[in-house]
C-alpha cells in the first residue's frame, strides 16, 4: 500500500516448493550483481548513509590549450572512445574519427566521461517515478589533472560503474550483439503447448531457438521433445523468471519470441541505470529489485537475507529511489490514501453496506470539514504486523501483509506501489539486532499485544528500490525479466531522442 502519491504514474499462484526451487537461482543472481568490485568493508557495522555531494569551492576551469597531449595519450583516448559502444552507446556518438584537433578530442573525451559515469539521459528528462538520480558530474578538472599527472589510463578506468553487475552486462551486451550479427533467432510458431514427448517441426525449431542463447545445447535437429530438451526449456524459463516446468506454454513462447534487438535494448537500459547509482554503495543496505520482486539485505557488502516481495502493479508503479529506513512500526494502522479510498473502498461500501466496518475501517474527520479512512491495526490490517518507514516523496514503504498467497506466485506485481515482504519479522529482527530494548523477545511480545509502537532503529540503514530487468548470473548467462512498467523501452527512446 502507499500514501497519496506526490507524483502521478503511467498508465496463479504456484506451489511453494516449485517457487523456491526456481527462485533460489534468482536470489543468488540478485545478490551477486549488486556487489562492488571493490573490497568489502571490514570491522563492525559502520554508520551508513546514502552518499551525499558536499558543496565544492569554485574552481577556475582548466585551460587545455596550455598542454600538449603526447602521441601515446592521443592513441589511448582514441582507443577508449572507439570502445565506447561496448558500454551500450551508439558507436557513432563517440567515434574518434570525428575528432580532428586536440581540442575536439578532449571535448569528445569529456562527453564520454560524463556519459559513462553518470549516464546520457539528463535528470530533467527522467520520469517522475525515476527517483534514483545520478550525482551531477563534471570531468573537466579530473581529466586535466590526469593528463598533467600522467595517469590518464587509470583515470579512464575509474569512469564506468565499479560493480560486477555492470561489467557482466557489458560482456552480455557483446554476446547478444554477436547473436544479432548472426541473424538473431526466428520466432517460434504459435500452437498447442509443447512438452516432453511432442514431435514435429515445431520441436526442431524450438531446439534451434534455445541453442541461440544456451551454448550447452547439442543441436541434433531430431524432431522429438526428449528429456534433454525439457532441461533446456527449464533453464530458459529460469532465465526468464518463469515457472520452470519444462512446458512451452504461452508465457514461455512469448519470452522466447522476444527479438534479440529488444534484449539488447534491455541490456543497454539496465547499464544506463547502473550509472545512476553512487560510486560506492553502503556496505549495510537493503535492495529491492522491483521488476523481479525480490528483496536482499546486505551486511558488510555481503547478502545475508533474501526474500520474495510483492511490488507495484502497472499503473501503480513502485518508484526507483534511495533513502534511509529510520524506524519500524509494530502493529501499524493503515492511513488509506484518498485515491484508494475513493476508487476502491467507498464503492465497496456502497455496493455492500457495512463493508468498511467489517474490515476494521474507521472514518476520521480531518478538521477541514472532510474525512479520511483508516484501517485499525489487527488481523485484517492491510499492512500486516510491521511497516518499515523511510523518507521519500512517493509515500511508499516496506510492509507485512495478511495476504500471503501472492508470494507463492511467479508473478508478484500486485501492490499499490509499496513493497510487501515475505519475511517481515526476520527483517525487523535483523535491523534491530543489538538494540538493548528491542530484543527478539520484546519484538514478539509487542506484536502479540496488538499495541501500535514505533521502534527507532539503533542505526539507520540505506534502502534502494531498483529496476533490474537484465542481469548476469554467476554462470555467465544473461537473465531477463519482463519490462512490466515499460521503463526499458521508455529509457531507450528518451536517450535516442537526444
Distance CA 277, CA 161 (A): 8
Q: Which of these ranges, 6-15, 311-320, 325-334, 472-481, has the smallest mean pLDDT? A: 6-15
Q: Is the pLDDT of residue 476 over 80?
A: yes
Within a 10 A sphere around the Cβ of 159, how many other Cβ atoms? Answer: 20
Question: What is the pLDDT, as a whole number, of residue 55?
Answer: 57
**DSSP secondary structure string for all residues of 34-84:** T-BSSPPP-SS--------PPP----PPP-GGG----HHHHHHHHHHHHTG
| Best CA proximity match to 484, nearest among 287, 272, 297, 310 | 310
Mean residue pLDDT of the chain comes to 90
Find the mean pLDDT for residues 230-248.
97
pTM: 0.87
| Best CA proximity match to 176, nearest among 257, 237, 260, 235 | 260
Residues in Cβ contact with 329 at an 8 Å cutoff, skipping those fewer than 6 apart: 386, 387, 389, 452, 453, 454, 455
The per-residue pLDDT for range 19-57, each reduced to its tens digit, is 334 444 555 555 555 554 443 333 333 444 444 545 555
Cell reading at 387: 511497516
- Name the DSSP class of 316: S
Question: What is the pLDDT, as a whole number, of residue 198?
Answer: 97
The per-residue pLDDT for range 252-276, each reduced to its tens digit, is 999 999 999 999 999 999 999 999 9
Question: What is the pLDDT, as a whole number, of residue 61?
Answer: 84
Distance CA 327, CA 379 (A): 22
Distance CA 81, CA 112 (A): 7
Find the mean pLDDT for residues 86-106.
97
User: CA quadruple 461, 466, 469, 471: dihedral positive or negative?
Assistant: negative
The per-residue pLDDT for range 195-237, each reduced to its tens digit, is 999 999 999 999 999 999 999 999 999 999 999 999 999 999 9
Find the mean pLDDT for residues 387-396.
97
Residue pair 385/331 in contact by the 8 Å Cβ criterion: yes
What is the rounded (10 degree) CA torsion for 26, 312, 282, 489?
80
Residue pair 279/51 in contact by the 8 Å Cβ criterion: yes
In this prediction, what percent of the chain has a pLDDT beyond 90?
84
Cell reading at 13: 499462484
Question: What is the pLDDT, as a whole number, of residue 47?
Answer: 43
The per-residue pLDDT for range 111-151, each reduced to its tens digit, is 999 999 999 999 999 999 999 999 999 999 999 999 999 99
Cell reading at 92: 557513432
Amino acid at each position: 500500500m502507499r500514501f497519496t502519491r506526490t507524483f502521478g504514474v503511467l498508465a496463479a499462484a504456484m506451489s511453494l516448493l516449485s517457487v523456491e526451487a526456481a527462485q533460489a537461482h534468482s536470489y543468488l543472481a540478485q545478490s551477486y550483481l549488486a556487489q562492488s568490485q571493490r573490497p568489502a568493508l571490514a570491522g563492525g557495522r559502520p554508520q551508513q548513509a546514502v552518499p551525499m555531494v558536499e558543496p565544492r569551492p569554485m574552481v577556475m576551469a582548466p585551460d587545455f590549450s596550455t598542454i600538449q597531449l603526447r602521441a601515446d595519450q592521443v592513441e589511448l583516448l582514441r582507443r577508449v572512445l572507439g570502445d565506447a559502444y561496448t558500454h551500450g552507446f551508439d558507436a557513432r556518438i563517440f567515434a574518434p574519427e570525428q575528432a580532428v584537433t586536440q581540442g575536439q578530442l578532449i571535448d569528445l573525451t569529456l562527453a564520454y566521461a560524463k556519459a559513462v559515469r553518470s549516464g546520457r539521459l539528463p535528470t530533467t528528462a527522467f520520469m517522475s517515478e525515476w527517483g534514483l538520480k545520478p550525482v551531477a558530474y563534471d570531468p573537466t578538472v579530473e581529466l586535466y589533472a590526469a593528463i598533467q599527472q600522467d595517469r590518464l589510463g587509470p583515470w579512464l578506468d575509474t569512469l564506468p560503474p565499479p560493480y560486477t553487475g555492470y561489467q557482466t552486462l557489458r560482456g552480455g551486451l557483446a554476446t547478444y550483439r554477436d547473436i544479432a550479427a548472426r541473424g538473431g533467432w526466428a520466432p517460434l510458431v504459435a500452437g498447442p503447448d509443447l512438452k516432453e514427448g511432442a514431435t514435429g517441426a515445431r520441436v526442431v525449431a524450438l531446439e534451434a531457438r534455445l541453442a541461440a542463447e544456451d551454448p550447452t545445447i547439442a543441436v541434433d535437429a531430431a524432431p522429438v521433445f526428449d528429456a534433454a530438451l525439457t532441461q533446456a526449456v527449464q533453464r530458459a524459463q529460469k532465465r526468464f523468471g518463469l515457472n520452470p516446468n519444462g512446458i512451452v506454454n504461452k508465457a514461455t513462447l512469448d519470452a522466447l519470441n522476444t527479438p534479440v534487438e529488444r534484449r539488447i535494448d534491455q541490456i543497454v537500459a539496465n547499464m544506463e541505470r547502473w550509472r545512476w547509482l553512487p560510486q560506492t554503495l553502503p556496505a549495510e543496505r537493503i535492495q529491492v529489485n522491483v521488476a523481479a520482486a525480490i528483496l536482499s539485505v546486505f551486511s558488510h557488502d555481503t547478502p545475508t537475507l533474501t526474500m520474495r516481495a510483492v511490488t507495484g502493479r502497472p499503473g501503480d508503479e513502485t518508484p526507483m529511489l534511495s533513502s534511509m529506513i529510520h524506524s519500524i512500526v509494530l502493529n501499524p494502522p493503515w492511513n488509506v490514501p484518498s485515491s484508494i479510498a475513493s476508487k476502491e473502498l467507498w464503492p465497496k461500501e456502497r455496493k455492500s453496506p457495512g463493508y468498511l466496518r467489517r474490515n476494521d475501517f474507521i472514518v476520521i474527520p480531518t478538521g477541514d470539514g472532510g474525512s479520511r479512512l483508516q484501517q485499525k491495526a489487527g488481523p485484517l490490517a492491510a499492512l500486516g504486523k510491521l511497516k518499515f518507514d523511510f523518507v521519500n516523496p512517493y509515500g511508499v514503504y516496506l510492509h507485512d501483509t495478511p495476504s500471503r498467497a501472492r508470494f507463492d506466485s511467479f508473478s508478484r506485481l500486485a501492490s499499490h506501489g509499496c513493497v510487501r515482504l515475505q519475511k517481515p519479522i526476520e527483517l525487523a529482527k535483523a535491523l534491530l539486532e543489538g538494540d538493548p530494548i528491542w530484543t527478539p523477545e520484546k519484538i514478539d511480545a509487542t506484536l502479540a499485544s496488538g499495541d501500535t509502537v514505533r521502534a527507532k532503529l539503533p542505526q539507520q540503514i540505506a534502502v534502494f528500490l531498483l529496476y533490474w530487468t537484465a542481469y548476469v548470473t554467476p554462470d555467465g548467462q544473461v537473465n531477463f525479466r519482463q519490462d512490466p512498467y515499460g521503463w526499458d523501452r521508455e529509457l531507450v527512446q528518451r536517450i535516442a531522442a537526444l
